[in-house]
């Protein structure tokens, strides 16, 4: 499309799982402006400020646009790609000769979910290295889902999604979709989809320690952070006790009612009430209403995933949907309609699984080949065979996102070689020996590999690069490929690829994915199905325009998609009974020293660790504030706007208090991923503190079955900052202030 010298292109936003359709206008100077695509089948004109403002990231003067090498004094010098790769190759080969490939680790973070070629290359690199050191911030996000996926459905990545568009009762546990726009689902306009539930006479109940932007619009159940498995477990107990379950649905599972009874049968409702802060009557009523609704779906996200016993929580949420007959039916918990079979592909290549091996030092089970990021510092420090000495890290700022940031920072500094693929000098990449700059969003082609199996309105889309990359930025997949070439490997998990690589044949990620699409349920079968999908058709013929595949997620055939041998859902894994017992026996989290429970908050104007450098998002004095209930503030002499010190068993930070009854008494909420000290100048000046300085990463500080970090429901104390300390803090932060963006 071209009008007035401006080119227009279909794109979709690669920041979050809403994957909003966009129309990008490109002028003669290749400057891009974005607006929502009103005709997109899924997002239908929805987009948020972060997505629209993305050009401020691509054009950011602080963006790294050529390879950098760190010097002794911590500063960086510009080097050419060849210089960087040659030196990296030399150092890698030397370390491999001395310690074997097992000393090399790989690490990926959140943006891999939106960069399909980068993701496949990094996964391929990890597989080719055949080193057990494979880490991700997914272990501070979705690890519990991946364990439950494997144990219940036979595949890590089988994640049922709530059919919000057709449900009569949406139970939203520990999620704030009005801000996050939804996670582990791809609903183009979550706000509208949720508001429509109540408009058509249904109910939405939000379970959250905070009356969030979402909860304000619906029924709110204030819960004590970290106690969700008590609530959902008790609801299930009521349902079984009162015979409200769908017996046929339970009988179809392996283990059936008996298996579920063994997990929740011993739950005492009064204990659950005191653990959660929700009265026994309210728990029972919620259970009855959920079970009696025409259709219902229970959905949990970060709030339910990042607390203690999170694997149990996820099991209970899925069991609640199953036990009430809400599995695989309209308005219930359903399996999406993928247009490429990533489940079959990852299974065949053995990229998925659970507990096939354990971590060297702390003995954590692998999940989808990954070990918890919480154990990485230990693996770096513990001598012996298999010690982690090199990390190739991309798409992540682990120093901010992983538990016990101080320890993570120290450990990363001890590596023999740290390579970071990142468009910024971050708190993590500033420790790297090399920072290698990737292309961003519309500088590369994209297809929604990660979100496509979870779309409420299934659609296909594949977009092209529409502007040249800034400076010398190169594709993540190209960078990874170049590194592997220097050590004689091919970044692929496919058997035979290493051999083919030796013959000079390397199959690119885009061609592999194209094959999967063409063989997929909507594919062109290489010409055998007229009008079917292929990369060429989507990207070139349709020029990136989205194609609607169905009006809604098809239901009724989910059993065929399971990877369990008997095609049944396995409710009876003994792990869940053990977890329920461990939870009942667990000591109280709070103590006299640390009497408050802290939980994480996300905000509309930030995106994980990396949009704090966008001037318009930070405008108007936007800053991080700790939410504390008026009662807790009063007993501590804290007033709105005061500086306070938050301490935990692990660390101490200073933040500004916002006194508000939006949080329940006894709990404090703190926005995460603040407190920058890298090369993003505005981000450094907006202040704030790093939440994860307060969180723990010991062997027992994680959810045991999954290794998922525990960052919510963390015991802390809050005190008013003494004036002397305050003065010191003010002085040290003003020293870091850069005037440019004031």
Ligand X SMILES: Nc1nc2c(c(=O)[nH]1)N[C@H]1C(S)=C(S)[C@@H](COP(=O)(O)OP(=O)(O)OC[C@H]3O[C@@H](n4cnc5c(=O)[nH]c(N)nc54)[C@H](O)[C@@H]3O)O[C@H]1N2
Residues near Mo ion (CB under 5 A): 141
Q: Which of 121, 189, 352, 426 binds ligand X (CB under 6 A)?
A: 426
Q: Which is nearer to ligand SF4, 142 or 391 (CB)?
A: 142
Closest approach of ligand SF4 to the CB of residue 189, in Å: 9
Q: Which of 42, 193, 276, 397 binds ligand X (CB under 6 A)?
A: 397
Of 513, 503, 576, 563, nearest to 539 by C-alpha is: 513
Q: Is the dihedral of CA 275, 279, 281, 285 positive or negative?
A: negative
Q: Which of 37, 208, 341, 407 binds ligand X (CB under 6 A)?
A: 208
626/671 Cα distance (integer angstroms): 7
51 binds, among ligand SF4, Mo ion, ligand X, none (CB under 5 to 8 A by kind): ligand SF4
What is the SS3 assignment for 32? strand
**Residues between 73 and 132 that touch ligand X (CB under 6 A):** 109-111, 115, 118
Question: Which residue has the CB atom at the shortest distance from ligand X?
Answer: 303
If DSSP states are collapsed to H, E and C, what string results for 99-154? HCHHHEEEEECHHHHHCHHHHHHHHHHHHHHCCCCEEEHHHHCCHHHHHHHHHHHC
Closest approach of Mo ion to the CB of residue 299, in Å: 15
Closest approach of ligand X to the CB of residue 662, in Å: 9
- At 441, phi and psi to the nearest 5? 5, -95
Q: Which is nearer to ligand SF4, 486 or 602 (CB)?
A: 602
What is the SS3 assignment for 644? strand
The mark string for 535-564 relative to ligand X (x by CB under 6 A, - otherwise) is: ------------------------------
Query: Is 55 a binder of ligand X (CB under 6 A)?
Result: no
- At 205, phi and psi to the nearest 5? -120, 125
Provide the Cα torsion 99, 101, 103, 108; round to 10°: 170
Q: Which is nearer to ligand SF4, 13 or 689 (CB)?
A: 13
Closest approach of ligand X to the CB of residue 228, in Å: 5
649/696 Cα distance (integer angstroms): 8
Q: Which of 42, 121, 131, 183 binds ligand X (CB under 6 A)?
A: 183
Cα 503 to Cα 120, 482, 484, 486, 498: the distances in Å are 21, 16, 15, 15, 9
Q: Which is nearer to ligand X, 140 or 283 (CB)?
A: 140
372/247 Cα distance (integer angstroms): 38
Query: Is 210 a binder of ligand X (CB under 6 A)?
Result: yes
- Are 322 and 332 within 8 A, CB to CB? no
179 binds, among ligand X, ligand SF4, Mo ion, none (CB under 5 to 8 A by kind): ligand X
Query: Is 491 a binder of ligand X (CB under 6 A)?
Result: no
Q: Which is nearer to ligand SF4, 51 or 222 (CB)?
A: 51
Q: Which is nearer to Mo ion, 141 or 416 (CB)?
A: 141
Closest approach of ligand X to the CB of residue 184, in Å: 8
477/439 Cα distance (integer angstroms): 10
Q: Which is nearer to Mo ion, 141 or 524 (CB)?
A: 141
The mark string for 141-160 relative to ligand X (x by CB under 6 A, - otherwise) is: x-------------------
478/515 Cα distance (integer angstroms): 20
At which residue do the structure tokens 């010991």 appear?
Answer: 698
Tokens of 594: 């640390």
Cα 329 to Cα 195, 319, 416, 440: the distances in Å are 21, 15, 53, 39
At a CB cut-off of 8 Å and minimum separation 6, what does 227 contact? 275, 276, 277, 307, 713
423 binds, among ligand SF4, ligand X, Mo ion, none (CB under 5 to 8 A by kind): ligand X
3-state helix, strand and coil shares in percent for the chain, rounded to the nearest 5? 35, 20, 45
Q: Which is nearer to Mo ion, 534 or 712 (CB)?
A: 712
457 binds, among Mo ion, ligand SF4, ligand X, none (CB under 5 to 8 A by kind): none
Q: Which stretch binds ligand X (CB under 6 A): 232-240, 383-391, 652-660, 710-718?
A: 710-718
Q: Which is nearer to ligand X, 16 or 575 (CB)?
A: 16
Query: Is 42 a binder of ligand X (CB under 6 A)?
Result: no
Closest approach of ligand SF4 to the CB of residue 147, in Å: 27
Interface residues with ligand SF4 (CB under 6 A) are: 13, 15-16, 18-20, 47-48, 50-51, 181
Closest approach of ligand SF4 to the CB of residue 2, in Å: 25
- Are 613 and 424 within 8 A, CB to CB? yes
247/231 Cα distance (integer angstroms): 22
Q: Which of 84, 120, 164, 223 binds ligand X (CB under 6 A)?
A: 223
134/490 Cα distance (integer angstroms): 17
Query: Is 440 a binder of ligand X (CB under 6 A)?
Result: yes
Query: Is 372 a binder of ligand X (CB under 6 A)?
Result: no
Cα 206 to Cα 170, 171, 189, 214: the distances in Å are 8, 6, 18, 8
**Residues between 603 and 642 that touch ligand X (CB under 6 A):** 604, 606-610
The mark string for 666-695 relative to ligand X (x by CB under 6 A, - otherwise) is: ---x--x------------------xx--x
Q: Which stretch binds ligand X (CB under 6 A): 241-249, 285-293, 395-403, 500-508?
A: 395-403
Q: Which is nearer to Mo ion, 10 or 145 (CB)?
A: 145
368/370 Cα distance (integer angstroms): 6
Cα 529 to Cα 447, 544, 621, 630, 702: the distances in Å are 21, 20, 56, 64, 49
At which residue do the structure tokens 């689902």 appear?
Answer: 185
Question: Which residue has the CB atom at the shortest distance from Mo ion?
Answer: 141
Q: Which stretch binds ligand X (CB under 6 A): 37-45, 134-142, 335-343, 558-566?
A: 134-142
Closest approach of Mo ion to the CB of residue 245, in Å: 33
Q: Which is nearer to ligand X, 183 or 643 (CB)?
A: 183
**Residues between 291 and 330 that touch ligand X (CB under 6 A):** 301-304, 306-307
Q: Is the dihedral of CA 203, 207, 210, 214 positive or negative?
A: negative
- At 186, phi and psi to the nearest 5? -130, 85
- Ramachandran area for residue 722 (φ above 0: left; ψ -120 to 50: alpha; else beta): beta
- Are 426 and 609 within 8 A, CB to CB? yes
Closest approach of ligand X to the CB of residue 677, in Å: 13
Closest approach of ligand X to the CB of residue 532, in Å: 30
Of 199, 87, 73, nearest to 483 by C-alpha is: 87
19 binds, among ligand X, Mo ion, ligand SF4, none (CB under 5 to 8 A by kind): ligand SF4
Q: How many secondary structure helices (H) and strands (E) does the chain include?
A: 28, 27
In the complex, the residues that contact ligand X under the rule CB under 6 A are 16, 109-111, 115, 118, 137, 140-141, 173-177, 179-181, 183, 207-210, 212, 223, 225-226, 228, 301-304, 306-307, 394-398, 401, 421-424, 426, 438, 440, 476, 599-602, 604, 606-610, 669, 672, 691-692, 695, 711-713
């Amino acid at each position: 499309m071209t009008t007035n010298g401006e080119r227009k292109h279909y794109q979709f936003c690669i920041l979050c799982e809403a994957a909003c359709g966009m129309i990008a206008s490109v002028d003669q100077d290749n400057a891009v402006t974005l607006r929502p695509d009103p005709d997109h089948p899924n997002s239908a004109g929805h987009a948020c400020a972060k997505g629209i403002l993305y050009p401020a990231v691509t054009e950011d003067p602080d963006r790294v646009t050529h390879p950098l090498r760190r010097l002794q004094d911590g500063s960086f010098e510009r080097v050419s790609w060849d210089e960087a790769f040659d030196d990296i190759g030399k150092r890698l080969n030397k370390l491999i000769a001395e310690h074997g490939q097992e000393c090399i680790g790989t690490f990926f973070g959140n943006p891999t979910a939106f960069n399909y070629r980068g993701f496949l290359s990094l996964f391929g690199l990890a597989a080719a290295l055949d080193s057990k050191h494979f880490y991700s911030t997914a272990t501070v996000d979705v690890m519990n889902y991946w364990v439950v996926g494997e144990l219940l459905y036979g595949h890590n990545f089988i994640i049922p999604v709530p059919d919000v568009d057709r449900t009569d009762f949406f139970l939203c546990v520990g999620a704030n979709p009005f801000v996050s726009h939804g996670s582990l689902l791809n609903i183009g306009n979550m706000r509208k989809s949720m508001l429509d539930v109540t408009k058509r006479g249904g109910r939405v109940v939000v379970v959250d320690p905070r009356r969030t932007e979402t909860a304000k619009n619906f029924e709110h159940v204030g819960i004590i952070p970290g106690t969700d498995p008590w609530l959902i477990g008790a609801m299930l107990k009521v349902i079984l006790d009162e015979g409200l379950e769908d017996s046929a649905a339970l009988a179809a599972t392996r283990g059936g009612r008996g298996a579920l009874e063994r997990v929740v049968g011993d739950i005492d409702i009064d204990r659950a009430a005191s653990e959660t802060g929700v009265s026994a009557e309210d728990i029972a009523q919620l259970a009855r209403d959920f079970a009696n609704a025409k259709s219902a779906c229970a959905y949990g996200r970060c709030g339910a995933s990042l607390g203690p016993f999170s694997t149990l929580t996820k099991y209970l949420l899925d069991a609640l949907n199953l036990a009430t007959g809400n599995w695989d039916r309209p308005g219930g918990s359903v399996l999406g309609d993928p247009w490429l079979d990533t489940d079959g592909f990852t299974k065949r290549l053995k990229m998925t699984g659970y507990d096939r091996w354990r971590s060297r030092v702390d003995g954590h089970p692998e999940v989808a080949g990954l070990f918890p990021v919480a154990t990485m510092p230990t693996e770096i420090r513990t001598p012996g065979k298999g010690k982690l000495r090199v990390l190739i890290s991309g798409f992540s700022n682990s120093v901010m996102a992983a538990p016990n940031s101080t320890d993570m920072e120290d450990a990363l500094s001890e590596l023999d070689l740290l390579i970071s693929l990142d468009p910024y000098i971050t708190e993590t990449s500033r420790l790297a020996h090399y920072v290698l700059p990737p292309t961003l969003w519309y500088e590369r082609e994209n297809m929604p590999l990660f979100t496509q199996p979870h779309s409420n309105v299934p659609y296909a889309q594949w977009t092209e690069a529409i502007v040249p990359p800034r400076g010398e930025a190169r594709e993540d997949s190209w960078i990874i490929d170049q590194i592997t070439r220097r050590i004689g490997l091919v970044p692929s998990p496919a058997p035979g690829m290493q051999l083919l690589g030796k013959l000079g044949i390397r199959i690119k990620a885009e061609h592999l994915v194209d094959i999967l699409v063409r063989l997929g349920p909507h594919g062109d079968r290489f010409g055998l199905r007229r009008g079917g999908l292929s990369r060429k058709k989507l990207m070139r013929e349709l020029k990136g325009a989205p194609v609607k595949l169905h009006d809604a997620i098809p239901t009724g055939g989910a059993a065929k998609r399971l990877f369990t041998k008997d095609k049944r859902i396995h409710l009876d894994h003994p792990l869940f009974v053990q977890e329920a017992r461990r939870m009942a026996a667990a000591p109280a989290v709070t103590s006299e020293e640390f009497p408050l429970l802290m939980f994480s908050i996300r905000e509309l104007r930030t995106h994980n660790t990396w949009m704090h450098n966008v001037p318009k998002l930070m405008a108007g004095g936007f800053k991080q504030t700790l939410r504390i209930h008026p009662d807790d503030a009063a007993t501590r002499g804290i007033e709105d706007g005061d500086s306070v010190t938050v301490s935990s068993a692990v660390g101490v930070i200073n933040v500004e208090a916002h006194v508000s009854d939006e949080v329940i008494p006894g709990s404090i909420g703190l926005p995460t991923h603040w407190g920058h000290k890298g090369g993003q100048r505005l981000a450094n000046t907006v202040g704030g503190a790093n939440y994860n300085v307060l969180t723990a990463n010991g062997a027992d500080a994680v959810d045991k079955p999954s290794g998922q970090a525990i960052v919510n429901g963390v015991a802390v104390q809050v005190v008013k900052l003494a004036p002397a300390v305050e003065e010191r803090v003010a002085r040290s932060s003003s020293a870091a202030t850069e005037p440019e963006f004031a």
